[in-house]
Structure 1
Amino acid sequence: MALKRLTQLGVPVGIVMIVVMLVVPLPAMVLDLLIATNITVALLVLMVTMFVHRPLDFASFPAVVLVLTLFRLALNVSATRLVLLDGYAGKVIDTFGHFVVGGSLIVGLIVFAILLVIQFVVITNGAGRVAEVGARFTLDAMPGKQMAIDADLNSGLITEEQARIRRTEVHAEADFYGAMDGASKFVKGDAIAAVIITLVNLLGGFAVGVGQKGMSFGEAITHYSLLSIGDGLVSQIPALLLSVGTGLIVTRSVGEADMGSDILKQITSYRTPLRVAGFAALGLCVIPGMPKLPFILAGGAMLLASTRVTSDEAAPEAEAVAGGVAAPADTPELLAAEIQVDPLGLELSADLIDLVDPSSGGDLLERVKSLRRKIASDLGIVAPPVRTRDNLQLPSRTYAIMLFGIEVARGVAPPGTVLAIGEFLGSLPGEPTQEPVFGLDAKWIPAELRSQAELSGATVVDRASVITTHLAEVVTQHAARLLGREDVRMLTDVVKRTHPVVVEELTPAQLSLGEIQRVLQQLLDEGVSIRDLVRIFEALSLRATRTKELDPLVEAARLALGPAIAAPYLVDKVLHVLTLDPPLEQRILESLRPSELGHSIALDPESSQALLTNLAGLVTEVENRNLRPVLVCAPQLRAAVHRLIHPIVPRLAVLSYQELVGAEQIRSEGTVGTEQRLSPVGA
């Protein structure tokens, strides 16, 4: 706790002390210590900029630049005060003024001028320009990065927490480069201040030496000018280190290693450039008068380095790193991740990409995200993330819905059009088609004719809605396949939080997760929502004490759900039903045969075909009257009848007599048999 408190107070106290240095004289020994600290800290900052993997790893760099610049200016003021008052500013400045430049004023001025040119003209200007461009490009790229994050989130590639972290990084990156743009101005201003302070020291030292100390002209120049040059050199060395650090941090691209490792790896990854440079250095030796040994050593080092590189083709990894993308290694984990199949996918042709581009008004990803919520609310399952991607192999205007890597549905959504559904579309120009879910007559018409189509009584749907509705239908049809063992575990854990006794009594004591999964899959396959897991689990717990066969467990679960079974098919509290001919129902009962997947019907092929043909025709006639019928039969036959008719009439629900609850009126729409199809009631 004390260390944390010290860390919090360290920087504020240091800044206050820097301000105090501007007005309070310092002893020469203290000034020596602070100058050494200044040089050491500047070197430390330079090393940190070289070892960070990305600029944001040193996000506090702009603040560090400001604090160190203020610290260095405070040292200049303290040193100037000592030089002018005492003619001595400590051993460090004295050594720089006499030993480093050989006690020569001319040499000192030239060295000081060269350092200023290097810092001000080359490094500071370059770093300032890079920081300015980096800030502009980062701000311009923010909307695109935000859209990419939203797209990954809507596709399920990342979680809400990961999206929040990535958004924070995007904002932090923009703030960093904006701050670096300002910090580069501090570095540039520091270089200008160094010139002015040195000139003031030279003139002030000459005036003090001649006017106050009574020195001769030559003595004043020798003594005070060398101290002023020493003060300038002491200040310019850490300033130069900080300028180099500024240039490195703003030119640093994201990499997997530190800057030194990246540079050496990328420069030495190609054999041919190393050999050319080596032979070129050796070729310079033939020039008359040119020293041979330095170029032989340099060229030999290049040629020796080229022997360590296998070939130019072995450099894709370096190219990938240079481009900011590390080449993946063929590790078992990465290969296993690549071969995993996405449970649910949506592929778009190249001309449909605008549907997922928010800048073009595309909101397909948001609708898919909302669709997952709706499926969870309707069916009680958490649909897997929909992996949305482009597919250049698809024909233009086409989208494909994938289930475990296999295409299960396909449709078209021509750009610039909307889908008009209705019976009176002949006067509208467009491409005739069928609505992909219900097979209704429709037409793709130009988007600008939407109002005209609505006035003619047609239902108009945009392209994103067509794709989303089609996707919802596919998910509903294959909900049983999408419910995996891990999903069952997750749903069970959710129920256990609120009803622990129900779960503990059922699993694993009576039924395993696999057996529960089979029951839930059968319910979904029959179009029954499994949202009310508590009632389902309670019913399974009671029935599992007598049998673990699939059909009895499913019937027990359906009976527990009560009115929820028939509710989706009620129209104004009226249930429209189809029934089986009593002799046929008796024959089906007698032909039941047990199997691993439940009971099946073993009618002769002719009777089965006649039953299915008559039933399909009857369902079509009833649906043409805008009704949604259900087939009812005895409870012991219901599961077997569903398995028989589902492949032929998948949209027809099969209910038992016990499940017709919640309906105020039950209206018979027809009876089906094998000999001849009976006309529907009211036809």
Structure 2
Amino acid sequence: MKLKDFGVIGAVIGIVIMMVIPLPTALLDFLIIINLSISLTILLVAMNTKEPLQFAIFPSLLLLTTMFRLSLNVSSTRAILSQGEAGNVIHTFGTFVIGGNAVVGIIVFLILVIIQFIVITKGSERVAEVAARFTLDAMPGKQISIDADLNSGLITEKEAKDKRQKIEREADFYGAMDGASKFVKGDAIAGIIIVVINIVAGFIIGVAMRGESAAEAMQTYTILSVGDGLVSQIPALLISTATGLVVTRAASDGTLSDDLSKQLLAYPRMLYIVAGVIAMLGLFTPIGVISTWPIAGLLVFGGIQMQRTMKVEELREVEREEEVKQDEVRSPESVLSLIHVDPIEFEFGYALIPLADVNQGGDLLDRVIMIRRQCAIEMGLIVPVIRIRDNIQLRPNEYVIKIKGNEVARGELLLDHYLAMSPGVDDESVVGIPTKEPAFGLPALWIAENMREGAEFAGYTVVDPPSVVATHLTEVIRTHASELLGRQETKQLIDSLRENYPALVEEVVPSQLSIGEVQKVLVNLLREKISIRDLVTIVESLADYCQYTKDPDILTEYVRQALARQITNQYRTSHGPVKVITLAPAVEKVVVDNIQNSEHGAYLALDPRISQQMYQKLAEQVQGLVAMGHSPILITSPNIRMHVRKLIERVLPDVAVLSFNELDATVEVQSGGVVNL
């Protein structure tokens, strides 16, 4: 055992001995001052702790200080009743502090007891009880949260262990505080009883045993008893205040002075309002300006100083942030931030800054929000945050759209013009700067604002520059949607589906298919511009067929068949039957005969000359169908659909390839051409 261990044991034993052995008045004075010092120290420590667990010994310390205070009460009561005195400290409190007036002393003592017992102790007891209850109720949820963070890799095993220990210690602490607060309550009751005993017993002893007169005995023992009560109740009041501070500052993360300066004095302008109220109080009431205006001036001065201090702190904070950024640049680890690639970037020249500047009327940011919502509704895709920045390396009116750091589209805008697209028959009266519509490559004109009405009257489609950018950005996202859907985004979609369909998700992911395999199926759908919003049907199809095959391409074909109504509606026209192109039976047989199977799946190994002939014949049929105003759609047998699609996707990417099983039975289909070799 260490020396401090013997010291604590000796102190506890000494407290017990004090209740039995009479103490000299000089030693009693010394111990009373020690009691006052300990209480004041505990109060100051409670004010400067940042969290309750930093003062975890407080419940035990509360018991020891209560015992010490009661031992002093016993010793002082013995001295008062046996000797008629109790040392200089108690005599001073009884004569100097209360002016030697026993009635005033009793009233002051009762007020202190009421403050401690009814106000502070009662409130602290209730707060400790509620804190203990809610801490215990919240323990399971906190433990589950720690386990989840540990399983996801956000924290290490050691950090999880430390957090669990902290939660257990918090529960133990608040449970101990709930019981320890009863010590303070009992101490206040004991103080009242001891004072009454001292007064009554002292009066009897003074008159019956010491031969004093009734008035003299009442004066002497009342002053000593009240002085003794004040000596014990003032430290008790400090301890109970410390108790209240500890249990009421559970939501704080700083010291009491820090919290007061940050929270109570965080609004210096409010001091001006208070100063105005105080000044008017002195001006329009009999209180007078002499008592109120100095305080009002002090409040105004304090508000001014606080505003100056806040401005200085803001400047210092900016300087600290700059220093941190510079340190990050200098540090070896700073290059990690440089290799991050944004999923989508929109860069523009300096002349297009008004597009994104709200102060100049730009609404590009609002349009981006609408684009993300539109893509979510139409495609079921959660579009990542689009990074918008200016680039001085671009021409003033130029903009670039990048996907994962690579340029995929480029265009130019004239902010003081409108883009007019011809209805098919040009009007000579509409004059502008020739250009191409960036999203679809259609011929168009940049026209001045004074020609807008004439162009609209002539049948031109007139669009403002922000709408041109929004349309272009939307089409780029649709075209490259498959590149934007990664495993993390797929996991978000699966987690969202799990909230409403937990049984469906648990059957498929991860028991049958991994997140990566599901992602490949969704990417296949998005690559052919098939919406994945109906994720329930998609996962239902995967659940039906994943037990037979894990090939993403084959699973995609099954999913497409399940989405037949959606795919049909996507290509259905409202003005008549659907015109389609078909492959001649001989062509389909050639494709079937050249499908090769390997351990990595099936692939089409077609002779290059035959492939070239198919491209030419299909292109001819597509041109004829487009000339009639129909979208090019190629219909094939289900077993070769994906192979035909892979064959032509680089040469004819805009041709939709469907299988017969993907067409709804209610749609009318007409042949728009046959591909023959």
RMSD: 3.7
Q: Does 1:460 align with 2:462?
A: yes
CA distance in 2, matches of 1:605, 1:337: 46
Task: Report the alpha carbon displacement of residue 62 of structure 1 after superposing the two structures with TM.
Answer: 3.4
Task: Report the alpha carbon displacement of residue 396 of structure 1 after superposing the two structures with TM.
Answer: 2.1
Q: Does 1:592 align with 2:649?
A: no
Matches within 5 A, 1:621-660: 621-660=624-663
CA distance in 1, matches of 2:122, 2:333: 44
Change (3 A) 1:322 1:484: closer
Task: Give the gaps of 5 or more residues in structure 2.
Answer: 1-117, 125-254
Per-residue CA distance 1:423-481 (angstroms, 9 max, x = gap) = 31443221212222322221111122111111111111111111111111111111111
Task: Report the alpha carbon displacement of residue 507 of structure 1 after superposing the two structures with TM.
Answer: 1.1
Task: Report the alpha carbon displacement of residue 65 of structure 1 after superposing the two structures with TM.
Answer: 5.2
Q: Does 1:664 align with 2:667?
A: yes
Contact 2:632–2:654 (CA under 8 A) maintained in structure 1: no
Give the TM-score normalised by the residue count of structure 1. 0.56
Contact 1:345–1:405 (CA under 8 A) maintained in structure 2: yes
Contact 2:272–2:300 (CA under 8 A) maintained in structure 1: no
CA distance in 2, matches of 1:364, 1:76: 56
Name the residue aligned to 1:353. 353
Change (3 A) 1:75 1:670: closer
Letter in 2 for 1:473: E
Which stretch of structure 1 is more off in the superposition, 50-59 or 634-643?
Answer: 50-59
Task: Report the alpha carbon displacement of residue 356 of structure 1 after superposing the two structures with TM.
Answer: 2.2
Name the residue aligned to 1:616. 619
Contact 1:55–1:253 (CA under 8 A) maintained in structure 2: no
Matches within 5 A, 1:158-237: 197=290
Name the residue aligned to 1:302. none
Name the residue aligned to 2:327. 329
Change (3 A) 1:528 1:72: closer
Name the residue aligned to 1:508. 510
Greater C-alpha Rg: 2
Matches within 5 A, 1:34-49: none
Task: Report the alpha carbon displacement of residue 614 of structure 1 after superposing the two structures with TM.
Answer: 2.7
Name the residue aligned to 2:244. none
Q: Does 1:63 align with 2:63?
A: no
Q: Does 1:340 align with 2:343?
A: no
Matches within 5 A, 1:558-573: 558-572=560-574
CA distance in 2, matches of 1:411, 1:652: 25
CA distance in 1, matches of 2:120, 2:403: 56
Q: Does 1:409 align with 2:383?
A: no
CA distance in 1, matches of 2:537, 2:402: 33
What SS does structure 2 have at the residue aligned with 1:635? coil
What SS does structure 2 have at the residue aligned with 1:415? coil
Contact 1:488–1:517 (CA under 8 A) maintained in structure 2: yes
CA distance in 2, matches of 1:381, 1:365: 19
CA distance in 1, matches of 2:529, 2:604: 21
CA distance in 2, matches of 1:375, 1:513: 22
Contact 1:53–1:256 (CA under 8 A) maintained in structure 2: no
CA distance in 2, matches of 1:5, 1:401: 66
Matches within 5 A, 1:241-280: 242-253=299-310, 262=316
- Which residue, 500, 516, 519 being the options, matches 1:517? 519
Taking only the aligned residue pairs, the percentage that are identical comes to: 36
CA distance in 2, matches of 1:343, 1:639: 28
What SS does structure 2 have at the residue aligned with 1:643? helix
Task: Report the alpha carbon displacement of residue 373 of structure 1 after superposing the two structures with TM.
Answer: 0.8
Matches within 5 A, 1:668-679: 668-674=671-677
Task: Report the alpha carbon displacement of residue 328 of structure 1 after superposing the two structures with TM.
Answer: 4.8
Task: Report the alpha carbon displacement of residue 374 of structure 1 after superposing the two structures with TM.
Answer: 0.9
Change (3 A) 1:349 1:597: farther
Per-residue CA distance 1:235-255 (angstroms, 9 max, x = gap) = 96x777655533322234557
Letter in 1 for 2:506: E
Contact 1:425–1:443 (CA under 8 A) maintained in structure 2: no
- Which residue, 441, 444, 447 being the options, matches 2:443? 441
Task: Report the alpha carbon displacement of residue 613 of structure 1 after superposing the two structures with TM.
Answer: 2.8
Letter in 2 for 1:579: T
Name the residue aligned to 2:381. 381
What SS does structure 1 have at the residue aligned with 2:408? strand
Letter in 2 for 1:452: G
CA distance in 2, matches of 1:436, 1:524: 22
Task: Report the alpha carbon displacement of residue 597 of structure 1 after superposing the two structures with TM.
Answer: 7.4
Which stretch of structure 1 is more off in the superposition, 568-577 or 647-656?
Answer: 568-577
Which stretch of structure 1 is more off in the superposition, 576-585 or 324-333?
Answer: 324-333
CA distance in 2, matches of 1:662, 1:71: 83
Matches within 5 A, 1:101-116: none
CA distance in 2, matches of 1:585, 1:4: 90
Task: Give the gaps of 5 or more residues in structure 1.
Answer: 8-47, 82-192, 198-230, 263-317, 675-683
CA distance in 2, matches of 1:596, 1:479: 29
What SS does structure 1 have at the residue aligned with 2:647? helix
Change (3 A) 1:379 1:532: same
Contact 1:598–1:640 (CA under 8 A) maintained in structure 2: no
Contact 1:575–1:663 (CA under 8 A) maintained in structure 2: no
Letter in 2 for 1:248: Q
Which stretch of structure 1 is more off in the superposition, 602-611 or 475-484?
Answer: 602-611
Per-residue CA distance 1:492-525 (angstroms, 9 max, x = gap) = 1121111111111111111011100001101111
Name the residue aligned to 2:493. 491
CA distance in 2, matches of 1:54, 1:410: 54
CA distance in 2, matches of 1:4, 1:363: 59
Change (3 A) 1:633 1:254: farther
Contact 2:271–2:299 (CA under 8 A) maintained in structure 1: no
Change (3 A) 1:441 1:75: closer
CA distance in 1, matches of 2:497, 2:341: 29
Contact 1:54–1:254 (CA under 8 A) maintained in structure 2: no
Task: Report the alpha carbon displacement of residue 616 of structure 1 after superposing the two structures with TM.
Answer: 2.6
CA distance in 2, matches of 1:569, 1:482: 24
Contact 2:344–2:385 (CA under 8 A) maintained in structure 1: yes
Contact 2:271–2:300 (CA under 8 A) maintained in structure 1: no
Task: Report the alpha carbon displacement of residue 69 of structure 1 after superposing the two structures with TM.
Answer: 7.7
CA distance in 2, matches of 1:351, 1:435: 19
Name the residue aligned to 1:429. 431
Contact 1:254–1:324 (CA under 8 A) maintained in structure 2: no
Per-residue CA distance 1:258-315 (angstroms, 9 max, x = gap) = x9xx5xxxxxxxxxxxxxxxxxxxxxxxxxxxxxxxxxxxxxxxxxxxxxxxxxxxxx
Name the residue aligned to 1:579. 582
Change (3 A) 1:546 1:451: same
Task: Report the alpha carbon displacement of residue 545 of structure 1 after superposing the two structures with TM.
Answer: 0.7
